Structure 1
Amino acid sequence: MTLLERAAVRADRGAAGIDRQGAGTDRGARADHHAVAANEVHPEVVLGGRYRLGAQLGGGSEAYVNEARDLLSGKSVAVKIFRSTDSMDNAPFRRELEIHGRLRHRNIVRVLDSGDTPSAGGVGSQKSRSFVVMELVGGKDLRGFLQDNPASPEQTAAWMTDIARALAHVHRRGIVHNDIKPGNILVDFASDPRGLGIAKLADFGIALNGRHAAPNSSSGTPHYLSPEEVCGGTSTTASDIYSLGLVALECLTGTKAFPGPPLESMVARTLGEPRIPGTVRRRWSMVLHAMTDPDPAGRPSASQAVGMLRRLSW
Structure 2
Amino acid sequence: MTLLGNVRTETVLSGRYRLVKLIGTGGMGTVYEARDEHTYRAVAVKLFATPDAMTTADRVRQEREIRLLSMLSHPGLVPLYDAGTHEFDDGPHRFIVMELIADTTLLRRLAGGALHAYEVADLGAQLADALAYVHSRGIVHRDVKPANILINDEGASGFVRTVKLTDFGVAHFVDGSRLTNDGTIIGTAAYLSPEQVAGEPIGFATDVYSLGLVLLEALTGKQEYSGTLIEAALARLRHDPEIPADIAPEWRDLLGRMTHRNPDRRPTAVAVASALRGGATQITGPVPLGPARADHKREHRLHRAAHRHAKRGTFSLATRWRRRNVLVGSFATFGVLVACSAAYVAGLLH
Match of 1:172 among 132, 136, 155: 136
Structure 1 residues 262-302: Cα deviation after superposition (integer angstroms, max 9, x where no partner): 21112211012100112322211111001001110100011
The aligned runs of 1:186-197 (5 Å cut-off) are 186-189=150-153, 195-197=159-161
Contact 1:157 1:310 in 2 (8 A): yes
Match of 1:307 among 274, 281, 284: 274
Higher relative contact order (CA 8 A, sep 6+): 1
Contact 2:140 2:174 in 1 (8 A): no
Q: Report the number of matched residues.
A: 272
Structure 1 residues 200-241: Cα deviation after superposition (integer angstroms, max 9, x where no partner): 110111111167544437611111011111111122100000
Q: Which amino acid aligns with 1:72?
A: H
Match of 1:262 among 202, 208, 229: 229
Structure 2 alignment gaps of length 5 or more: 280-314, 317-350
Match of 2:207 among 240, 245, 252: 240
State the match for 1:131 in structure 2.
Answer: 95
Counterpart-to-counterpart distance in 2, 1:274 and 1:171: 24
Match of 2:9 among 32, 43, 47: 43
Contact 1:54 1:69 in 2 (8 A): yes
The aligned runs of 1:222-237 (5 Å cut-off) are 222-237=189-204
Counterpart-to-counterpart distance in 2, 1:279 and 1:309: 18
Contact 2:49 2:93 in 1 (8 A): yes
* Distance apart, 1:80 and its partner CA: 0.5
Match of 1:85 among 28, 44, 51: 51
Structure 1 alignment gaps of length 5 or more: 1-36, 120-124
TM-score with structure 1 setting the length: 0.82
Distance 1:211 1:288, change over 3 A: closer
SS of residue matched to 1:104: coil
Counterpart-to-counterpart distance in 1, 2:169 and 2:177: 12
Counterpart-to-counterpart distance in 2, 1:215 and 1:62: 15
Contact 2:50 2:91 in 1 (8 A): no
Query: Which portions of structure 1, spanning 4 or more consecutive aligned residues, are displaced by more than 4 angstroms?
Result: 192-195
Percent identity of equivalent pairs: 36
SS of residue matched to 2:8: coil
State the match for 2:30 in structure 1.
Answer: 64
Distance 1:251 1:132, change over 3 A: same
Q: Which amino acid aligns with 2:278?
A: R
Match of 1:55 among 21, 35, 38: 21
* Distance apart, 1:199 and its partner CA: 0.9
State the match for 1:151 in structure 2.
Answer: 115
Contact 1:224 1:246 in 2 (8 A): yes
- Whether 2:72 is the aligned partner of 1:103: answer yes
Contact 1:176 1:237 in 2 (8 A): yes
Distance 1:60 1:106, change over 3 A: same
SS of residue matched to 2:34: strand
TM-score with structure 2 setting the length: 0.74
* Distance apart, 1:172 and its partner CA: 0.8
SS of residue matched to 1:258: coil
* Distance apart, 1:185 and its partner CA: 0.7
* Distance apart, 1:193 and its partner CA: 5.5
SS of residue matched to 2:222: coil
Distance 1:246 1:81, change over 3 A: same
SS of residue matched to 2:278: helix
Q: Which amino acid aligns with 2:241?
A: P
Q: Which amino acid aligns with 1:173?
A: R
